[in-house]
Amino acid sequence: MVKRSQLAPIFSGALLCFLLILLTACSSLPGSSGGNSIPTPGVGGSNKSTPSSGNNNPGQTVPMPQTQTDCPATNTARAAVMRPLALGSHQNLVYIYNEVPQNTSTAYGHLRRYDATNGQKTDVATSGIQILRAQVSSDGQWVLFLSMPDPRGGLNVVMLQLVRMDGQGLQTLMCLPYSGPGGGPLDKPAISFQWSVDEKSILLSYDAMDHTTYKATSRITVLNVSTGALKAIFLDQGDDLYTYSLVTWLDNTHAYIIKQGIEGPTPPATVFLMNTATATVANPGLVNILTTVTRFSNYSLDSSYDGKQLYSSYCLQAASPFNTNIQVGPAMGGTRHTIFQEQPADCVQVLRAIKPNTLLLLVVVSNATTSSTQIWTMSLPGGSMQVLTPLTSSLPEVSNQSYALNETSQFPWSNGSRDGSTYALQEIDASAQTQSIVIASLNGGKPTTIATTNPGSSSVSLAGWTTM
């Protein structure tokens, strides 16, 4: 299944409405609240190239100079200020905790780190009333994220921010409008980004829907991290059928883009490969990799650990009974073939390449009386399946729990620890109105809850793993 975050605007409708009502209730601003060896940074993931050595000096920490958190000029960005951080040996999970205290007019966005060795939690940064789409860098030293400032402060923008893993150097690289150009009939835009493994480029995707004409505008831009230069490489303006959005990087110059229907019965979705180094608005050079139906279906794709193959899973939910088809083919396009055909009761929702020879799968197993969400692994190439743990098991009509892998980033460290021992999940309990982060062993076993929100509108989501 294409990640939910790729199909919807960056702000949850219910949470956003709650926040806007909450924040307009008061006229004054609130106060702020306060087994294996570690892999070489950058090795692993959909892109297997090693990051720039200029940002990777594991033996020495260099203090951060003063950085800027205000917005640069409109339609510009500033260069990232990056100094190396010496990392430790403890596996640490970074996650977002968006805090909305009950019966107050305040909200805070937090980035937190959980040390899986000693259980200690550390706030890396607190910024705005929401933090969204946080991604951990390939070297594990940085977190890139979107922050929504309190609109009562006069900033109607979304900030692209960067912070070092020790909490130093919080900085704003770019500000994007919170509402579409011209306001009026334009909905709030969907903004997403992907940071390359060499940490030199950030892809920015910006989509807005005009509900007067029912047409979407999709833009893709490359931000040069070291210079702050912006280069537009794709523009699809005024399309009444489709929108384009980012999926993930394949390598430091190629990224997957998906074209999919906006609403209602639409033609199949298409996945393209784009060379970001040569793409221009006039000639984006999109290469058709595969086509699939995404409506009423679970569809997911990820490149292999060495970046040579592209795995995909497809399950049509509307079918009865449904089944899952897992295919593989060359990462840059070519003939694809089926490597696994699942039983009719099993539906793979998300597929991720988490180790050189292992896929991690989020699966729903259903029959006439029960529906169970489970975590599986699949050995490669096309080997056996192993059920790591059942997550839920109940009658479908009374099931209130749902689970998700990282919906922002697909690199192995986005879901699995750097030593390959542990994975993380987001859990949503609709009946309790809570959200949680859980971790569990990739050898199997019951997950452990490491963070849970209070009932209400607070939320948590995954950023990725590092070592500290």
**Segment 8-41, tens digit of pLDDT:** 344 444 444 444 444 444 333 233 333 332 333 3
HEC profile of 168-182: CCCEEEEEEECCCCC
Q: pLDDT: is 215 or 327 the higher one?
A: 327
The larger pLDDT score, comparing residue 104 to residue 101, is at 101
**Residue type for position 17:** C
Tell me the mean pLDDT in the region 201-214: 82
pLDDT at 308: 96
Tell me the pLDDT band of 209, cut-offs 50, 70 and 90. low
Measured distance CA(126)–CA(158) in Å, rounded: 15
DSSP-derived secondary structure letter, 53: G
Two structure tokens written together for 12: 């949850």
Amino acid 315: pLDDT? 87
CA nearest 186: which of 157, 210, 206? 210
The per-residue pLDDT for 38 is: 30
Q: What pLDDT shows up at residue 319? A: 61
Q: The tokens 């221009």 sit on which residue?
A: 280
User: Environment class of residue 397 by beta-carbon count within 10 Å: exposed (0-12), middle (13-18) or buried (19+)?
Assistant: exposed
Q: What is the mean pLDDT of residues 146-169?
A: 91
Structure confidence at residue 189 (pLDDT): 62
Q: How deeply is 161 buried, as exposed, middle or buried, from its count of CB atoms within 10 A (0-12, 13-18, 19+)?
A: buried
Nearest to 220 by CA among 210, 209, 235, 230: 235
Nearest to 247 by CA among 308, 331, 322, 329: 331
Of the two residues 35 and 379, the one the predictor is more confident about is 379
Per-residue pLDDT tens over the stretch 383-434: 788 999 988 766 544 558 889 999 999 999 999 999 999 999 999 998 889 9
Domains of the chain: 1-28+45-52+70-295 (2.130.10)
